[in-house]
Amino acid sequence: MASFFDIRARQAAAAATASSSKQQTPTQDNRLQPWVEKYRPKSLDDVTAQDHTVTVLRRTLQSANLPHMLFYGPPGTGKTSTVLALAKQLYGPELIKSRVLELNASDERGISIVREKVKDFARMQLSNPPAGPAGEEYRKKYPCPPYKIIVLDEADSMTQDAQSALRRTMETYSKITRFCLICNYVTRIIDPLASRCSKFRFKSLDEVNAGKRLQDIAKLENVPLEDGVVDTLLRCSEGDLRKAITFLQSAARLVGVVQAAPAADKKRKRAKIDDDEDEDVMDVDQPSSSNLVTVRSIEDIAGVIPTNTIDNLLTAMQPSSKGTVYGRVSKAVEDLVAEGWSATQIVTQMYEEIVIKDDTTGDWQKARIVLCFSDVDKRLVDGSDEHLTILDLCLQVAGILGER
């Protein structure tokens, strides 16, 4: 049996596919791509809901100047997509390889790499756009400004030392090189670096824009949605569009709508989101209601605990005459844990019900209850045992509720 890592076997395999892989229909690959990649913004115009950032960056397309940049914000809000789109629009397909270096947390980025790889790239001569009339055409499409871009994605996982080493590099080569740092937690970027960059905050996607995007994708993929599905997607994904798109695709796969392969002439349109898709939708077989993506299926995929399960737990925590509080609560928690619900999800939904929604509980009680939540959150992140931790939380809260 050929080994996974056997170089020769691999090369042979590679050689064998090399000729055929050219012909491999890209359209088929496209259809089988995860939607998050398929609908990754291809240009700045496709980036949703980050208006401020997009406006500023679009200006740089004209002015040919760019500061060092720091993009920060929660997962799935378009940071990586934006910088990739910007790079594409600035340099076009010919130059992007030689002008843009992307390093992310999956690359070795210790201090020595920053010293060497980044520095080497930073000081390299600028590559030239194609010459002649073709080049002129090219330049009309892509401004090709006279600097390179180094993208350090997921920069918050770089060590402090490695970040420090960047400072000098940034200054020394600033004539021909711009840096773009991307992170989730801006506080993990050392101050001397952060202060050298223009900061762009990526907001959690607001409901209107994210909803529109999801609706567009559903339409392009011919996925019929039950009423309220988009709202549920938005609620369950907490402003993370990648998550929302993943949920949508999973739900679609599960009801089997994805298999409806589009006819050849529709493919090209599909690659791009545009509005005049109605006719396409019309001539596809009317989806039967069994193919409908439902609210419950989305919640299921998102790991949301059903309302009645949470209600059971809350009821068990209320003082009552039936059995002891410990007896009821410990049973309810045991079941939740055996069902595999994630502790963070349990905590989130409990918080929602007890602290936010319930207004029969007094403020003084709530003030003490939130202290318990704070403790528990920290412990879970530290990797404490979920069963004990959740049981503790529920008993403490039940104790406080029982005091009235």
Partner 1 sequence: MALLVDKHRPRTLETLTYHSDLSARLRSLAASGDFPHLLIYGPSGAGKKTRITATLRALYGPGVEKIKIDSRVFQTSSNRKLEFNIVSSNYHLEITPSDVGNYDRVVVQDLLKEVAQTQQVDLSAKQRFKVVVINEADHLTRDAQAALRRTMEKYSPNLRLILLANSTSNIIAPIRSRCLLVRVAAPTEEDIAGVLARVGKKEGYKSCEPLERRIAKDSGRNLRRALLMFEAVHAQNDNVTEKTQIPPPDWEALIEVIAKEMIEERSPQRILQVRAKLYDLLTHCIPATTILKTLTFKLMPKVDDALKSDIVKWSAFYEHRIRMGSKVIFHLEAFVAKFMRLYEGNLMGMDMDFDD
Q: Which residues bind ligand ATP (CB under 6 A)?
A: 36-37, 39-41, 47-50, 75-81, 184, 202, 213, 241-242, 245
- In the region spanning residues 65 to 104, those forming contacts with Mg ion, defined by CB under 5 A, are 80
Under rule CB under 8 A, residue 33 binds partner 1: yes
Q: H helices of 51-145, where?
A: 51-63, 79-99, 111-113, 119-123, 132-141
Q: Does 387 bind partner 1 (CB under 8 A)?
A: yes
DSSP code for 361: S
Full DSSP string of 47-75 = --S-HHHHHHHHHHHHH-----EEEE-ST
How far apart CA 19 and CA 239 sit, in angstroms, is 43
Give the separation between CA 73 and CA 342, rounded to whole angstroms.
24
Smallest gap from Cβ 382 to partner 1, in A, equals 5
| Shortest distance, position 398 Cβ to partner 1, whole Å | 8
Among residues 249, 293, 298, 328, the one that binds partner 1 under rule CB under 8 A: 249
Q: Could you say whether residue 349 binds Mg ion (CB under 5 A)? A: no
Task: Tell me the C-alpha to C-alpha distance, in Å, between residue 14 and each of 9, 28, 101.
Answer: 8, 20, 26
CB 150 within 8 A of CB 118: yes
What six digits make up the tokens of 384?
Answer: 């404490």
Site string for partner 1, 322-361 (x = CB under 8 A): --xxx---x------xxxxxxxxx----------------
Q: Which residues contact 188 (CB under 8 A, 6 or more apart)?
A: 156
Q: Does 50 bind Mg ion (CB under 5 A)?
A: no
Amino acid identity for residue 378 in this structure: K
With CB under 8 A as the contact rule, which of the stretches 208-216, 250-258, 285-293, 354-362 interacts with partner 1?
250-258
According to the binding rule CB under 8 A, does residue 381 interact with partner 1?
Answer: yes
| Interatomic CA distance for residues 233 and 289, integer angstroms | 19
Binding range to partner 1, per CB under 8 A, among 130-138, 171-179, 203-211, 392-400? 392-400
Closer residue to partner 1 (CB): 60 or 163: 163
The nearest distance, CB 185 to ligand ATP, in angstroms, is 10
Q: Which of residues 287-316 bind partner 1 (CB under 8 A)?
A: 301-303
- CA gap 224, 288 in Å, rounded: 9
Encoded one letter per residue, x for contact with partner 1 by CB under 8 A and - for no contact, window 163-202 reads ---------------------x------------------
Instruction: Say if residues 305 and 335 touch (Cβ distance below 8 Å).
Output: no
- Interacting partner of 50 out of ligand ATP, Mg ion, partner 1, none (Cβ under 5 to 8 A depending on kind): ligand ATP
